[in-house]
């Protein structure tokens, strides 16, 4: 049975917008040893802005229009930003096929032409030759009928709360903070450095993230727990694999909220340290 004091801890957390889905997770939180973060939507806002358009063989407007149409069915934060930048109606009658390729991008048929939009991994898969200037930001490359059509650079911002989130975790005795991302090496490493994370792993596919978490689980001490925090776009398998899966409830997908043990309603990563502090305090009272 659950000690009565646990209800106080869970209730107190919920008043702060932290939903803990049971006494066992409250208990597990108190022994958190390392916290692993997803980048996009968790430590960064996940609201990308288009900062550069570099078409090849077509105009800026055509490249943006085509990419926005190719991305129109995706829920990824990247796709949202491209649709925002396009800022016109999507003509659904032009789109006859769409496919999301997790960790890579999208494939779509627009005006009867096959369009791929995504990262360099996707270009390698398609066999397209691409290049880009040294830029800070996430690069979305585009091909039309297997011919390279240029790239769009988009930039995300670190959440105001993220630096203090990491500092608070260190202050409450967390041994290690780690970031996993599918984004490019330069982008991921810049974010990790700014925030003072202990480790960062980049260019990971969703399956690579699961593998990385399994490795970190094997390396940690027997009594310490691994918490994983993600916005859940493609992250549900990692959320369920971690000792404690934490989802960002605002931006997060329904699948993530379902798979998570703890939900942070307002998406502030510093609430993870708050949840750990509440759990430690509750356990001190109960025991």
Identify any residues that bridge with 148 across adjacent strands, giving them in sequence order.
143
d(CA 275, CA 30): 9
Residue of 72, 177, 181, 225 that binds ligand ADP (CB under 6 A): 181
Residue 32's binding partner among Mg ion, ligand ADP, none (Cβ under 5 to 8 angstroms by kind) is none
Residue of 27, 65, 183, 267 that binds ligand ADP (CB under 6 A): 183
Q: Which residue, judged by CB position, is nearest to ligand ADP in the bound state?
A: 182
Task: Give the nearest distance from C-beta 124 to ligand ADP in angstroms.
Answer: 12
Residue of 23, 103, 150, 249 that binds ligand ADP (CB under 6 A): 103
d(CA 126, CA 103): 14
Which position has the token pair 């959320």? 239
Q: For ligand ADP, which is the closer residue by CB, 40 or 177?
A: 40
Q: For ligand ADP, which is the closer residue by CB, 44 or 279?
A: 44
Task: Give the nearest distance from C-beta 194 to ligand ADP in angstroms.
Answer: 15
Residue of 233, 239, 257, 260 that binds Mg ion (CB under 5 A): 233
Q: For ligand ADP, which is the closer residue by CB, 26 or 36?
A: 36
Size of the site for ligand ADP (CB under 6 A): 23
Residue 39 as a binder of ligand ADP (CB under 6 A): the answer is yes
The active-site residue out of 38, 156, 243, 261 is 38
Strands 262-264 and 244-248: parallel
Q: For ligand ADP, which is the closer residue by CB, 36 or 278?
A: 36
Q: Cβ(247)–Cβ(231) under 8 Å? A: yes
Q: In the sheet where 18-20 sits, what is the strand order?
A: 18-20, 262-264, 244-248, 225-230, 32-38, 176-180, 199-201
> Annotated catalytic, 161?
no
Q: Cβ(13)–Cβ(246) under 8 Å? A: no
Stretch that binds ligand ADP, among 99-107, 124-132, 248-256, 269-277 (CB under 6 A): 99-107
Using CB under 5 A as the binding rule, the residues of this chain from 9 to 38 that contact Mg ion are 38
Residue of 6, 23, 36, 40 that binds Mg ion (CB under 5 A): 40
Residues that bind Mg ion (CB under 5 A): 38, 40, 233
Residues in touch with ligand ADP (CB under 6 A): 38-40, 71, 74, 76, 78-79, 103-106, 117-119, 138, 140, 181-183, 206, 233-234
């Amino acid at each position: 049975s659950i000690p009565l004091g646990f209800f106080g801890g869970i209730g107190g957390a919920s008043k702060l917008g932290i939903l803990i889905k049971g006494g066992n997770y409250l208990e597990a939180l108190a022994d958190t040893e390392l916290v692993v973060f997803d980048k996009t939507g968790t430590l960064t806002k996940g609201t990308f802005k288009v900062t550069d358009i570099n078409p090849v063989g077509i105009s800026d407007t055509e490249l943006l229009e085509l990419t926005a149409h190719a991305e129109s069915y995706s829920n990824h934060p990247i796709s949202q930003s491209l649709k925002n930048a396009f800022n016109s109606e999507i003509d659904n009658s032009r789109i006859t096929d769409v496919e999301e390729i997790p960790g890579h991008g999208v494939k779509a048929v627009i005006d009867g032409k096959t369009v791929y939009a995504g990262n360099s991994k996707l270009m390698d898969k398609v066999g397209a030759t691409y290049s880009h200037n040294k830029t800070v930001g996430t690069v979305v490359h585009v091909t039309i009928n297997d011919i390279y059509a240029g790239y769009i650079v988009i930039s995300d911002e670190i959440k105001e709360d993220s630096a203090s989130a990491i500092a608070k975790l260190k202050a409450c005795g967390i041994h290690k903070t780690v970031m996993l991302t599918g984004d490019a090496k330069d982008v991921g490493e810049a974010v990790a450095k700014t925030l003072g994370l202990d480790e960062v792993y980049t260019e990971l596919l969703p399956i690579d993230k699961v593998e990385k978490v399994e490795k970190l689980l094997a390396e940690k001490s027997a009594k310490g727990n691994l918490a994983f925090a993600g916005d859940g776009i493609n992250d549900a398998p990692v959320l369920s694999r971690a000792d404690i899966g934490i989802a960002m409830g605002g931006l997060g997908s329904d699948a993530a909220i379902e798979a998570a043990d703890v939900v942070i309603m307002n998406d502030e990563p510093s609430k993870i340290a708050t949840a750990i502090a509440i759990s430690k305090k509750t356990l001190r009272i109960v025991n």
